[in-house]
Amino acid sequence: METRILGNTGLEVSRLGIGLAAIGEEETFDTIKTVEVVLKTALDQGITFFDTAECYFYSEEMVGHSISDRRSDFLLATKCGHPTPGQYDIDWSIEGILLTLDRSLKRLKTDYVDLLQLHSCSVEVLEQGEVIAALTKARDAGKTRFIGYSGDNEAAEWAVDSGHFDTLQTSFNLADQRPRNGLLQRAKQNGLGVIAKRPIANTAWGSPTSPTARLKFDPNYGDEYWKRTQAMAALGPLDIPFGDRILMSLGFVMAHEEIDTAIVGTRNPEHLKSNIDLFNSKLPIDTSIVTELYRRWDELDDNWIGQM
């Protein structure tokens, strides 16, 4: 598995990471054996960057249950400030963030995370400074090694330019291309590690219906990407590499050197193995495909803002 140093952190990450929203939102402890297979397969196949969040329902607990005994084998990132729906309101106070971080550490069965990220708070919240003070306190206390911002659009721009963060996690894929026009470049220039979330656009390209339509938690989550990819595909035939739409989606993101790691989410062990095989043996894709995807995006972009 190819690795990369995550910005100026010195952390060596696998360029293919794993996003852990789906396992927490769609699985339960009744299916923990499947979750264990996914997480352990990722580790065994060289994935070392695991990304979760406090609001992904059972995700943190499943990580703690399944692989906390292999804590030294991987880098662990979580997010704060956006608690699980139905438990209590979003809390961007210093006290609220530190409280939920302690809860995350307990769930994850660890004393620290490698990366603690603010979870999509607004520019207004960032400017108030309390959230940054909270992350700094957590870092000073040894509960996180580095701090980052996870989000999109104006808030991501603010975070990159602020000088406060070690990393940026932002949506970037063939249906969400705006970061290629300056944001990714400035993040790298400023020494931030760059994490691409939703890199395969929820498998929207080529899907006959919205790819998230059957999800328990948010069946509308992939609708916008599906609409965008439908419009892009309608502009004419495209020479999809090896006829594999997932390869094309992943290859588009990994064609950008600014991306240190791309977190692909899955709860299916076979899908995970396929993603790893595509990454290890089928990349890069031809640059002409990337250029054509640029062209189609640019032609159709009608304020297609980044999707959270």
pLDDT of residue 184: 98
pLDDT of residue 88: 55
In the chain, the amino acid numbered 172 is F
pLDDT of residue 66: 97
Structural contact between residues 78 and 53, judged by C-beta atoms closer than 8 angstroms: yes
pLDDT of residue 17: 98
Q: How many CB atoms lie within 10 A of CB 86?
A: 6
Q: How many CB atoms lie within 10 A of CB 244?
A: 16
Enter the DSSP assignment of 307.
P
pLDDT digit string (tens) for 12-62? 999 999 999 999 989 899 999 999 999 999 999 999 999 999 988 899 999
Cis peptide before 284, with omega less than 30 degrees from 0? yes
Q: Please, how many CA atoms are within 13 Å of residue 276, restricted to the half-sphere of its CB?
A: 21
pLDDT of residue 84: 62
pTM of the model: 0.96
Q: What is the phi/psi pair of residue 144, to 5°?
A: -145, 150
CA nearest neighbour of 265 among 7, 35, 32, 70: 35
Number of H helices, E strands in the chain: 12, 10
Extract the residue ranges of the chain whose pLDDT is less than 70. Answer: 83-89
pLDDT of residue 52: 97
pLDDT of residue 86: 53
Residue 299 to residue 106: CA distance in whole angstroms? 48
Residue 74 to residue 179: CA distance in whole angstroms? 27
In the chain, the amino acid numbered 132 is I
CATH superfamily of 3-300: NADP-dependent oxidoreductase domain (3.20.20.100)
Show me where the domains of the chain are located.
Answer: 3-300
